[in-house]
Amino acid sequence: MTRYNIPERKSCVICSHTLEDIRDPIWVCSEIDRIGKRGYIEVPSAESEISLGVESKRYAGRYHHRWVIDILENDVAFTQKQHHIHSYWKYHLPVKFFRNLPHEKHVQYLFWENRFSFRENILLSSEAVDQFYTDKVALLKPYSSARYTLEALKTLLKQLFRKV
């Protein structure tokens, strides 16, 4: 029987503004967790990643970012950033919201020790994608209730005219 001498994890890992850019952040997180005893992770906040006006008035977040990331306590959740969020107001936050967002809310971070958890939210249907972004935007209430009422009325009228 072979016995392997596995060294104790002693490294401190710092990962700042990288995970949102790469194709497989789950693998990178597994390596960070494997080699590090403690560390610091910093990523753009979900609010800044779905806001118009970060780089352009017509594009949400940064052009090259692949993920909307949520850090809650010791858990990092990755959701693929869908390109259609730029085209419909219910899926992104307005420029005004981002301009008024305090600078400290542009990023989120995690100081971790021993272990942290990480996962990917896999949205398999267009309905699930729509629901994810609609809920995230509605939670922050950047639009008036009148806009949502008009949108509901518009949808209802479309359904009625399809039946006629």
What pLDDT does residue 83 have? 86
Structural domains of the chain, count: 1
- The rounded distance, in Å, linking the Cα atoms of 118 and 78 is 8
pLDDT computed for residue 147 by the predictor? 85
Among 25-29, 70-74, 159-163, where is mean pLDDT lowest? 159-163
Domain range enclosing 108: 11-163
Cα dihedral 22→27→33→38 (10° resolution): 0
CB 10 within 8 A of CB 36: no
Instruction: Determine, yes or no, domain membership for 135.
Output: yes
User: Which residue type occupies 147?
Assistant: R
**Any domain includes 130:** yes
Predicted confidence (pLDDT) per residue in 139-164, tens digit: 999 998 888 888 888 888 888 887 66
